[in-house]
Structure 1
Amino acid sequence: MTHTVDTAAGTPQQDVEAPLDPALRSAVTRELPRTIADLSALVRIPSVSWAAFDREHVRASAEAVAELVREIGIFESVSVTQAGIPGTDELGQPAILATRAAKNGRPTVLLYAHHDVQPPGQDEQWESPPFEPTVRGDRLYGRGAADDKAGVMAHIAALRAFLAVTAGDIDLGLALFIEGEEEFGSRSFATFLTENRAALAADAIVVADSNNWDINTPAITIALRGNVTFRLTVSTLAHASHSGMFGGAVPDAMMATIKLLGTLYNADGSVAIAGLTSHDAPTPPYDEAALRAETGLLDGVQPIGHGTILSRLWSQPAVTVTGIDAPTVANASNTLTPSVSVQVSVRIAPGQSASEAATVIEEHLRANAPFGAQISIDDLDTGDPFLVDTDGWAVAETRLAMASAWGVDPVDVGIGGSIPFIADLVREFPAAQILVTGVEDPDSRAHSPNESLHLGVFTRAVLSEAFLLGRLNSRTGH
């Protein structure tokens, strides 16, 4: 299969089957058992970056990744480093930074992934222990097996293959940044970029932290929703009171919270917050049956919202209440609750700034607080959405590399989730072309029990990146 892609910014300099591709394919295949073994070793390290978990596990994960990077033998510098968290005296979680300077007019590519993981959740919901990598069928199960230690190993495996084929005789500039706190808000990310700007400067940035269309079709993520998350506290009483004696006259915080949260939604379940915008973009075919299969939507439960299903996931806002601090059913008493706190996650459409969205969300909540309830908002965290410029030469080269590795052309997709740090990358490196790729598929269940990696998808993702490195190593005039 051969074809070329012309873009407004430039034309790929080779057809799909680049000269190094057969050798790179052999190298990736030959090294696959070692790659899976190294990935499994990383999965065994419980590198949860959340504040309530042991930071030493994240440190151990960082050191393990750094050692794998050093063993490649292609970088001039490899270090484990930390940056400060703005507004605090704390350091962020350890990250890995490795660099190699470009030669002879070749571009520099920055490869990003993260080695921290989400908390495992309830062990009984896992079919095998979350930090014991287990192969069942064609999938590797374990927390971080897909998100995003597979992204880390995709970079490492592609670089190994690239080195094996070229014997290290390359002109391509390389920077590798493996973050350690993406799952906890990338709190030191902006500081890290500023402090290491010269080392991280690149012509193209590959972010290996997204999905593919299915197990047979690759994808390039061209749109990401942003996020506004916060804790909302609703208070109506100075102290708890007997619900039998005062219920019916006194509004308790639970009632006020329920009524307030209800104002966030229209009758069809879409978002009812005035001022939150949507993004108009075409979407590929995707039906309700696919949604049900991928999400486990129960029989009789109907999807919410309006428009195409993918527009609801990629291009419209969404509101989710992700946690509630309130008396449990086991501890329930006949009491009017004085205060209730909820954690709210709002996904915002591409094209709207997170700061603007945060303002209209707060205005809505204050305007709709029932019975004069007092509300407070804290622990606010925001991340801007992102739209990829698909006209650049790096996107065109990536399409060709993926087509060669997968045997089919990639699909352009949006992502309903958020990768807030990409806005930081855009701000710090405005001239760089950003490519959002990944190793996941619709059944990976990232962040959920029984997270898994499809080994065929992983192999093709490694091949894609190895092919891309080979193409960029022969590119001039970027």
Structure 2
Amino acid sequence: MQHSSSEERQSALQYAVQNIENGRFFETLSRRVAYQSESQNPNAMDELANYLSQEILPYLKSMGFVCEIFDNPIAGGPPLLIGQRIEDPALPTLLTYGHGDVTNGQAEQWQEGTHPWQLTQHGDQLFGRGTADNKGQHTINLMALEAVLAAREGTLGYNLKVLFEMSEEVGSKGLERFCEEHKEALGADIFLASDGPRLNAKTPTIFLGSRGVCQFRLRCDTANGARHSGNWGGIITNTAIRLQHALATLVTPHGRLIPDCLRAPQPEGVTAKMMQSLPVGGYPGDPELNANWGETALSVGERLFGCNTLEVIALGAGDIHKPIGAIPDVAEAVCHLRLVPGTDWQNLVTNLSTYLAEQGFDDIDVLYEGGYNATRLDPSHPWVNFVQSSMALSLNENVTVLPNLGGTIPNHCFADVLALPTVWMPHSYPSCKQHAPDEHLLVSVAEQGLAAAAGLFWDLGEHWPAAR
């Protein structure tokens, strides 16, 4: 165990934050943003591999990591990387994580003067694909680690492992199986990583898991083919109408889930109290909230972080841009069930198919397309207080604790497969426009992130959090 003064700790934080002032953070992130690592693009496999081999691996090696790049256990999937920095096998170990893949660039839709593959600063905003999700966030953590190593003259006082994947934006294909197959190499005592947004731009935040997600498709297909709406209208089934009525049995006009098989227990106890006090929305760039949407008896925080919701993310029948006078042969809706612990998500297809049949819609097929389980670390776990206290000391601000993220990240791989206590320290904010044109990172949040991450890496070398 190492011992040092508060002045030495503060020097390490200042060294980390100086990466903003001296331009090194901009230079490094600019280089990483330039990799067109679109995991949704089948032609980007070389870029996905190069991001690990040419960018991340050399950077980790410079900090004393021993790295290895592995094939994805799913054939055709992009590679993964494990880096290990073992100072002493008898010391405790922290596991961290990042992903270098991004969603499609959508270059033609970005505002003038910005581009997905070129880092551009406008005031407090750093524009570029991956700045918020996730290249900017793991760059912050790695630079903070580098600062602490320099301040401690190359010794942390604990072991550190890092896992990088390149398919998070397409469902982390192969990650769960990879963690199963490499449990020993990824073995650790605690987990910390950065992804997703903080509560808002002004509020330092940690979260302890995430809502899960099931993506599924509702499909109505008469096998009639598209037929003239005049010659056949009134005597054959219109798939679009059938699908719309089926959807209406799942969600009320005000967004409340109807079937018991899709619902979960309402928030209670400590987690409910934590959610009730959360201020959600109301900041520049945030969407307008609807007070009459969803579980209106609950607080906004409970509705966002503690409830299941069904979101239709795509809906189609015929061609809306070039319609023809024909009854559509197929109608489909792509849906996300955002779920919290207590949901019977593994039997989604059976339960939902049975429910729809009971409502008279046995002609609607339910096609499961993948998803993650919901996870949530007990807020009383010592690791939670350790991270919260460290961040508060570094930033001289209160730190909000969310029981879980409203969105979904592959936390089940770390919480369930590797059985680790998981805490996430996000360096982005809800209106960062991740997955959309004009994705950006706030410089002010990055500065806080560098200080918070450096403080945490420092404090772990001073005193390890209590076991549970």
**CA 14–399 in structure 1, closer or farther in 2 if over 3 Å, else same:** farther
1:428 alignment counterpart = 417
SS of alignment partner, residue 210 of structure 1: coil
The answer to whether the aligner puts 1:161 opposite 2:147 as a matched pair is yes
1:471 alignment counterpart = 459
SS of alignment partner, residue 211 of structure 1: coil
2:450 alignment counterpart = 462
1:37 alignment counterpart = 27
Q: Deviations over 1:359-388 (max 9, x none)?
A: 433333343354x5x233335212111111
Structure 2 length-normalised TM: 0.89
SS of alignment partner, residue 155 of structure 2: coil
Matches within 5 A, 1:17-166: 18=6, 20-32=8-20, 33-50=23-40, 52-75=42-65, 77-85=66-74, 90-103=75-88, 105-121=90-106, 123-127=108-112, 128-166=114-152
Percentage of matched positions with identical amino acids: 22
Is the CA contact (8 Å cut-off) linking 2:32 and 2:135 kept in structure 1?
Answer: yes
**CA 363–65 in structure 1, closer or farther in 2 if over 3 Å, else same:** farther
- C-alpha distance in 2 between matches for 1:359 and 1:338: 25
SS of alignment partner, residue 156 of structure 2: coil
Is the CA contact (8 Å cut-off) linking 1:68 and 1:156 kept in structure 2?
Answer: no
**CA 253–34 in structure 1, closer or farther in 2 if over 3 Å, else same:** same
Moved over 6 A (4+): none
Is the CA contact (8 Å cut-off) linking 2:85 and 2:159 kept in structure 1?
Answer: yes
Is the CA contact (8 Å cut-off) linking 1:279 and 1:350 kept in structure 2?
Answer: no
SS of alignment partner, residue 425 of structure 2: strand
Matches within 5 A, 1:317-466: 317-368=308-359, 370=361, 374-413=363-402, 414-419=404-409, 421-430=410-419, 432-466=420-454
**What code does the residue aligned with 1:316 have?**
C
Q: Deviations over 1:214-253 (max 9, x none)?
A: 3332111135211110222211242222111221232211
Q: Deviations over 1:146-177 (max 9, x none)?
A: 11011220221011101110111233101011
Moved more, 258-267 or 41-50: 258-267
* Alpha-carbon offset, residue 44 of structure 1: 1.4
SS of alignment partner, residue 195 of structure 2: strand
- C-alpha distance in 2 between matches for 1:14 and 1:415: 35
- C-alpha distance in 2 between matches for 1:193 and 1:65: 23
**CA 245–287 in structure 1, closer or farther in 2 if over 3 Å, else same:** farther
* Alpha-carbon offset, residue 294 of structure 1: 4.6
Matches within 5 A, 1:173-192: 173-192=159-178
* Alpha-carbon offset, residue 287 of structure 1: 6.3
- C-alpha distance in 2 between matches for 1:366 and 1:14: 66
The answer to whether the aligner puts 1:279 opposite 2:275 as a matched pair is no
Matches within 5 A, 1:185-200: 185-200=171-186
* Alpha-carbon offset, residue 358 of structure 1: 4.8
1:227 alignment counterpart = 213
- C-alpha distance in 2 between matches for 1:465 and 1:287: 24
**Of residues 268, 271, 295 in structure 1, which corresponds to 2:254?**
268
**CA 382–108 in structure 1, closer or farther in 2 if over 3 Å, else same:** same
- C-alpha distance in 2 between matches for 1:415 and 1:73: 31
Q: Deviations over 1:116-156 (max 9, x none)?
A: 11123362244421222110111101111011011220221
**What code does the residue aligned with 1:111 have?**
T
Unaligned segments of structure 2, at least 5 residues: none
In the alignment of these two chains, the number of paired residues is: 454
**What code does the residue aligned with 2:83 have?**
A
* Alpha-carbon offset, residue 47 of structure 1: 0.7
Q: Deviations over 1:239-278 (max 9, x none)?
A: 2221112212322111111111222212322111222214
**What code does the residue aligned with 1:84 have?**
P
1:304 alignment counterpart = 293
SS of alignment partner, residue 140 of structure 1: strand
Q: Deviations over 1:332-357 (max 9, x none)?
A: 11111111222111111233243144
**What code does the residue aligned with 2:85 have?**
R
- C-alpha distance in 2 between matches for 1:437 and 1:206: 7
- C-alpha distance in 1 between matches for 2:429 and 2:233: 50
- C-alpha distance in 1 between matches for 2:453 and 2:360: 51
SS of alignment partner, residue 468 of structure 1: helix
- C-alpha distance in 1 between matches for 2:40 and 2:102: 9
Structure 1 length-normalised TM: 0.88
* Alpha-carbon offset, residue 105 of structure 1: 4.6
**What code does the residue aligned with 2:153 have?**
A
